[in-house]
Chain A
Amino acid sequence: MVLELKDLRAGYIVDGDYKEAVGGISLSVGENEVVGLVGESGCGKTATALSIMRLLPQNGKIKTGRVIFENRNILNLNEPQMRNIRGRRIAMVFQEPFTALNPVIRIGPQIAEAAMTGKNISKQKARSLALDLLKKVRLDNPQRIYYDYPHQLSGGQRQRALIAIALVHGPRLLIADEPTTALDVTTQMEILKLLLELKENMNMSVLFITHDFGIINEVADRVCVMKDGRIVEEGRKDEILTLPKHHYTKRLLGAVPKMGSALQQEQGILREDILIETRSLAKSFAIERGLLRKRTGKIDALREVNIKIRRGQAFGLVGESGCGKTTLGRLLIGLIEPDQGEILIAGKSLKAYLKDIPQQIRRMMQIVFQDPYSSLDPRMTMGDIVLEGPSILAKTRPRKEAILNEVLEKVRLNIEDRSKYPHQFSGGQRQRIAIARALATRPEFLILDEPVSSLDVLIQKDILDLLKSLQKELKLTYLFISHDLRVVEVMSDEIAVMYQGSIVETASSRDIYTKPMHPYTRHLLESVPVL
């Protein structure tokens, strides 16, 4: 065994009270093995990783237990001894590749510096080691990247650079804490493959922390399922995935959207009743530099986009971050103005910027955003937030009360909570508030811009189910935007695939899944971590 945890208990001291985060867990990671630690946010995964590294924040405390690494209980080591293990024998890769690199130091020297800490090696040698590592993590053109600053790299490249730093001393154990969560699906798959390859070549063991069973399926040999600081089930990957025993594992597995669900659905007949249509819609953003805001270039966010959304349909739009899918949503709802092209609503052209849009149309479409933390005004009560639309439309008080009762019931929120503020609700509840706000003007068309991307998998399923039932009940038309093909497939009848501002393929979800035409669609499908 490389690592063994025995009855580890750790927690944080909050306002003088000890709050347990890790409630007595035991697990082991074997030679050259990948162990997946899976659970929802807040279940204690990260606290476990930090306890192993002895890097818990100031108010953190390891209560009892043993962390046996290479036959030594490292909880008994003193700080200098621990420093010899941290980064040398046990390395860690974090979730956020944007904050984990020092923005003012070039990539190469950052790696070289890591190589030189505590070791008596020359600058020359550190430099060649760094270059070597950049090659090892498969960064193209390592000579150039060596002299790049972190902001010049993409998210995936930055994560590779971080992995390179983690590997400088050839660690025995790598702890990867959600290393791909902030990355696009195609980049994610590349990073996962890289990690597995490095594990083989460098003879490492990996403790892989994630919330996504799809990723577990791709990388892990063994799985530990964690809930409320405890491990509820442990076993070989295939056992857990095929024959889960604990009901929580079953719930988690059941909540992962499965690819190919469209195959089971009856393919509805597509009526030619088109609600929303765009004709060669294009939008670019200027890049401004310097004091005088001189235009130095432009980014084409959308080029010649044509889509047709039929009444009553759930239309999926899938693509990587930065591909222009959010821009399309914002254009449709009139938050920004197109450079060229036309938007037709029920056959009539919407030729106007937001302020000129007649109230009738305004009420007809609404939008739900990704992040339920920034999409609700923190200084307004839940009731006021939901009723913002009706208030703007100057509805009477009894009318507003009726609307509030009705929509809260629809999204299954309690009317008694109307005077609470957003921070008093959970993530899932907040997203329900955002949906209720959108429904309060009785729209026909809802733009759902990554509505479940920031939610845990169980809550994600709740919200998806809610959206589905609302669609049926209220005969809504959806534009469902997401980077996650699994979610889009579950939600939509028809899917458009977007790549660098253009729609590369539009087809029914069944066809996208069974016979993808465009190479990018195929690449996207291959990159989805499936169960």
Chain B
Amino acid sequence: MGKNKLAVFGVGVIIILSLAAAFAPFISTHDPAAINIKDALLGPSRQHFLGTDQLGRDIFSRMIYGSRVALSIGLVAVGIAAIIGIVLGSIAGFYGGWIDSLIMRFVDIMLCFPRFFLILSVVAIVGPNIFNVMVIIGLTGWMGVARLIRAEILSLKSRDFISASRALGANNFHIIFRHLIPNGIGPVLVSFVFGVAGAILTEAGLSYLGLGVQPPKASWGNILFEGRAVLGVGWWMILFPGLAILITVLSFNLFGEGLRDIINPRTRE
């Protein structure tokens, strides 16, 4: 019961965030990139809801635009990870044998690299921009999905309804798309939601280190990065983007927990 309420809270925050991202130009009160040195480092006021940074840019507007970055990085990166993970995991689980060994050993190798440092070094080589960040987070984040779907398919594959379907003359295509994926996708969907939270956090981390989204384009991470320099006088530059990251990641996690309960028939009743 309480858990459900938390999940609803999560969904609510995600919807508000999505609306903010979609209608950013209408919601924001200032041009997020407009520099106005004489308004530098103003605290929260009616003019600037969340204050301004050292170049006089409006933090509220920058954060609204930052939500676009956060959500799009989250969704695109997880989308890339999901496609790779589902395809490789399904192949490994369904065909088994040496194909399975090959794919799963590749997964093991990928998991050997500390992910954040891998991302850092690749970004350093290919250059920090939003597109690269999305792709790299996606390319380094598919292993969990692959393992998950492989395990699902392995356990489903030996179930009697698959045998019954074969006995009715079904081919592999029918079995994969009619039985395996509909039954196995639940936990994977849940992992997507957690994945979005992880991707948003990773992007924020990268931008904080200056290797993510580059100014003047706003992201929550780079607002934090810039705020670090003026921590003593401009607490609002740290507090608000920090809270935004916290609440967003928390909301996705709560939503994921709720989704898991809904999808898992054992906890549903």
Contacts and interface: CB of A to CB of B under 8 A. Distances in A.
Interface of A: 293, 330, 333-335, 354-355, 359, 362-363, 365-367, 369-371, 374-380, 388-389, 392-393, 423, 434, 437-438, 441
B109 to A, nearest CB: 14
B161 interface: yes
A367 B167 contact: yes
Contacts of B179: 377
Contacts of A367: 163-164, 167
B174 interface: yes
Contacts of B159: 374-375
Given A293-B101, A377-B179, A377-B183, A392 B169 contact: yes
A282 B247 CA distance: 63
A330 B170 contact: no
Interface residues of B, number: 19
A334 B179 CA distance: 20
A441 B161 contact: no
Given A389-B168, A423-B265, A379 B183 contact: yes
Given A374-B160, A392-B174, A354 B165 contact: no
A478 to B, nearest CB: 15
Q: Which 6 A-B pairs have the closest CB atoms?
A: A375-B160, A389-B168, A369-B160, A362-B169, A377-B161, A379-B182
Interface in B76-119: 101
Contacts of B164: 367, 369, 375, 388, 434, 437-438
Interface string B164-206: 1111111100100011001100000000000000000000000
A388 B165 CA distance: 8
A388 B168 contact: yes
A423 B179 CA distance: 16
B167 A366 contact: yes
A526 to B, nearest CB: 32
A354 B183 CA distance: 24
A359 B174 CA distance: 16
B265 A330 contact: no
A366 to B, nearest CB: 6
Contacts of B160: 369-371, 374-375
B163 A366 contact: no
A354 B169 CA distance: 8
A335 B101 CA distance: 24
Nearest to A14: B269
Contacts of A393: 169
A330 B163 contact: yes
Chain B interface secondary structure, helix, strand, loop or mixed?
helix
Nearest to B174: A392
5 contacts: A362-B168, A367-B163, A376-B161, A392-B170, A437-B168
A335 B159 CA distance: 13
A367 B166 CA distance: 10
A423 B165 CA distance: 19
Contact of A378 (B101, B168, B174, B265): B265
Contacts of A363: 169
A333 B170 CA distance: 13
Nearest to B169: A362
A380 B265 CA distance: 14
Given A293-B101, A377-B179, A359 B169 contact: yes
A359 B167 CA distance: 11
Contacts of A334: 167
A333 B167 contact: yes
Nearest to B186: A379
B97 to A, nearest CB: 8
Q: Which of B159, B182, B183 has the most CB of A within 10 A?
A: B159
Contacts of B163: 330, 335, 367, 369, 375
Interface string B114-145: 00000000000000000000000000000000
Nearest to B160: A375
A374 B161 contact: yes
Contact of A388 (B101, B170, B171, B183): B170
Contacts of B166: 335, 354
A330 B182 CA distance: 25
Contacts of A333: 167
Nearest to B164: A375
Interface in B222-267: 265
B169 A389 contact: yes
Interface in B7-65: none
A336 B248 CA distance: 51
Q: Which of B163, B165, B171 has the most CB of A within 10 A?
A: B163
Contacts of B169: 359, 362-363, 389, 392-393, 441
Contacts of A379: 182-183
Contacts of A366: 167-168
Nearest to B180: A377
A378 B183 contact: yes
A441 B169 CA distance: 10
A315 B179 CA distance: 32
Contacts of B170: 388, 392
Nearest to B182: A379
B182 A375 contact: no
Contact of A441 (B168, B178, B182, B265): B168
Nearest to B163: A335
A382 to B, nearest CB: 13
A379 B168 CA distance: 18
Contacts of A377: 161, 165, 178-179, 182-183
Contacts of B167: 333-335, 362, 365-367
A194 to B, nearest CB: 34
Nearest to B183: A379
Nearest to A378: B183
B173 to A, nearest CB: 11
A368 B170 CA distance: 16
Contacts of A392: 168-170, 174
B260 to A, nearest CB: 17
